[in-house]
Amino acid sequence: MALAETEQLTKMMCGAALSRAVCTLGELGISDHIEAGVPQPVESLARLTNTHERSLYRLLRFTASYGVFLEVEDRKFDHTPLSAALRSDAAGTFRPAAQMFHHIFAAWDGLDHSVRTGESGCVKVYGEPLFDYIGHHLDLAPIFDAGMTAFHGHETAAMLDAYDFTGITTLADIGGGNGTLLAAVLGRYPQLRGILFDLGHVVGRARSGMQALGLDQRCSVIEGNFFESVPAGADAYLMRHIIHDWTDEQSIRILSNCRKVIPAHGRVLLVEFAVAGGNQASLGKDADMIMMAFPGGMERTEAEYQDLFEQSGFRLSKLTRTKSAVSVVEGRPAP
Ligand SMILES: C[S@@+](CC[C@H](N)C(=O)[O-])C[C@H]1O[C@@H](n2cnc3c(N)ncnc32)[C@H](O)[C@@H]1O
C-alpha cells in the first residue's frame, strides 16, 4: 500500500485521540486559566488544574497542532479562537459540549454493535437507551442540556432569520430542553405564547430559566413523555433535533401524538440536518454517526422526512434552508 494511504488511514484511526483530547480539555477546564494574549507556562496550568505537567504539555502540543491553543514559546500556551471557545465564560461556550461527550464517550464502543444490529451503542454499553441513562444519572442532565445549547445554540438565529413564525399564536417546543430556543423565539415575536414540554427531570431547569428571563407569564412549562402524548393548545409544534434521536417507528409515534392535538391550520416544524446523498462530507453525516451510537436515531434526507410525515398524518409543505447546517422542515396536517 502507498505511503499516502497508510498515513491517511492512520490519521483517520487516530481521530478518536483528537476527539478525546478536546473533550478532556473541556472537562479539565484548561481554557479558563488562560487570558487571550497572556500566554501561560504549562507548569502553572498543571498546578492550577491539578494535572501531570508532562502529560498536560503533550496534550496541549497535540491539540495546538489542530489549532486548539497556540504554543507561542517553549511550553507557553496562548489562546486561539477554538481554545477560547472552550472557556466557561465565552459567549455560546463550547465547554459543556466537550464535557457532555467526555461523560458519555463510551457509547462509541457500541458502534460496531449498532451497525450489526441497528440498536444504539448506548444500549450495548450502558444497558439502556441514552435518555433513560441520563435520567438515571442526574448529575449528567444539566451538562447534557448545556451541551445541546452549545452544539445547537448558533442554529437559533439562523432559524429565526430564515423561517417566518408570523401567524403562529402559540408555539409548543416539544423536547425543548432548557428552553433557550423557545425563549429566543418568544423574544423575537412579542405577541407569541409558548409551551415548553420535556421530561420531568428537565422542566425544572427550564422553568427557572423562563422565570429568570421574565417569560413565565407568556410560557407554560409542562412535564411529560412525547411517546404518550403532547400538550394540546398550540398551533405550531416545534421540535429541534428531536426526531433525529429516534427510529422511524418511534418518530411516527411522536408525530402522530402531535397530529392528535394539532388544529387543522396548524404546523409542525422540525429543525434538523436534511442530509444529502453522495460523497460530500457534511456535519449532517457526522451527526448521523453520533445518532447511531448514542440515541439510536438517524439524520434523514428530505424524502425520508416526507415519508415520516405521510405515515403520521402530515404532508411536507416546505423545507427552508438556513445559514447554518440545519433546515426547517414544515409539515401541515393532511386532510
Ligand atoms: C437532542 S435534545 C434537544 C433539545 C432541544 N430541542 C435543543 O434543540 O436544544 C433532546 C431533548 O428531548 C428530550 N426528551 C427525550 N425523551 C423525551 C420524551 N420521551 N418525552 C419528552 N422529551 C424527551 C430530552 O430531555 C432533551 O431535552
Same domain, 112 and 245: yes
- Cα separation, 110 vs 133, whole angstroms: 15
Ligand 1 lining (C-beta closer than 6 Å): 131, 148, 152, 175-177, 181, 198-199, 202, 225-227, 240-242, 245
pLDDT in tens, 71-107: 998 999 999 999 999 999 999 999 999 999 999 999 9
The predicted structure's pLDDT at residue 62:
98
> Is 113 in the same domain as 53?
no
Give the Cβ contact number of residue 181 at 10 Å: 24
**Which pLDDT does position 335 carry in this prediction?**
86
Render pLDDT for 273-321 as a digit per residue (tens, 0 to 9).
999 999 999 999 999 999 999 999 999 999 999 999 999 999 999 999 9
Regarding whether 230 and 189 lie in a shared domain, the answer is yes
Average pLDDT value for residue range 328-335: 96
Q: Which atom of ligand 1 is nearest to the CA of 177?
A: 27
Number of domains in the chain: 2
- pLDDT value of position 1: 80
Band of the pLDDT at 236, cuts 50, 70, 90?
very high
Q: What is the pTM of this model?
A: 0.93
Same domain flag for 316 and 231: yes
Closest CA to 234 of 225, 222, 252: 222
Residue 117 and residue 213 in one domain: yes
Q: Cβ(199)–Cβ(223) under 8 Å?
A: yes
- C-alpha 228 – ligand 1 centre gap (Å): 14
Coil, helix or strand at residue 74: coil
The residue from 65, 91, 117 where one domain ends is 91
**Considering only CA atoms, which residue is closest to atom 16 of ligand 1?**
131
Q: Which amino acid is at 180?
A: T
131 & 9 share domain: no
C-alpha grid cell, residue 301: 434526507
Distance 17 CA to ligand 1 centre (A): 29
Bridge partners of residue 105, in order along the sequence: none
**Got the DSSP string for 158-182?**
HHHHHS--TT-SEEEEET-TTSHHH
- 69 & 113 share domain: no
Ligand 1 center to 87 CA (angstroms): 25
Asked whether the beta carbons of 287 and 271 are under 8 A apart, the reply is no
Does 99 map to a domain? Answer: no
Q: How far is the CA of 37 from the centre of ligand 1 (A)?
A: 39
Pocket test for ligand 1, best of 148, 257, 291 (most atoms within 8 A of CB): 148
Q: What is the mean pLDDT of the chain?
A: 96
Mutate to test the pocket of ligand 1, among 195, 196, 226 (most ligand atoms within 8 A of CB): 226
Does residue 54 carry a pLDDT above 90?
A: yes
Note the pLDDT tens digit of each residue in 164-217.
Answer: 999 999 999 999 999 999 999 999 999 999 999 999 999 999 999 999 999 999
Please check whether residue 195 is in contact with residue 233, taking contact to mean a CB–CB distance below 8 angstroms: yes
* Residues 220-235 pLDDT 10s: 999 999 999 999 999 9
Cα distances (angstroms) measured from residue 40 to each of 46, 141, 210: 10, 33, 39
Same domain, yes or no, for 187 and 230?
A: yes
Residue nearest to atom 1 of ligand 1 (CA): 241
How is 238-256 classified by DSSP, letter by letter? EEESSGGGS-HHHHHHHHH
Does any domain span residue 97?
no
Rounded Cα distance between 79 and 64, Å, is 9
The overall longest dimension of the chain from CA atoms, in Å, is 69
The residue segments making up the domain with residue 138 are 106-333
In the DSSP assignment, the letter for residue 129 is: -
In a domain, 306, yes or no: yes
Q: Name the catalytic one among 79, 102, 241, 244.
A: 244
Best of 202, 228, 246 for a ligand 1 pocket test (most atoms within 8 Å of beta carbon) = 202
Residue 84 burial (CB count, 10 A):
18
Strand segments, DSSP code E, in 167-309 are 170-174, 193-198, 219-223, 236-240, 267-272
Residues 45 and 119 in one domain: no
Residue 244 designated active-site: yes
Would the pLDDT of 137 be above 90? yes
Residue 303 and residue 311: Cα distance in Å, rounded?
A: 12
For the chain, the C-alpha Rg in angstroms (whole number) is 21
Question: Smallest Cα–Cα separation from 325: which of 298, 289, 303, 299?
Answer: 299
Distance 44 CA to ligand 1 centre (A): 40
Q: How many other β-carbons are positioned within 10 Å of the β-carbon of residue 35? A: 12
CATH of the domain at 225: 3.40.50.150
Edge-first strand listing for the sheet containing 219-223: 219-223, 193-198, 170-174, 236-240, 267-272, 327-333, 314-321
Q: Looking at residue 33, what is its pLDDT?
A: 98
Average pLDDT on 321-326 reads 97
Task: With beta carbons less than 8 A apart as the criterion, state whether 107 and 130 touch.
Answer: yes
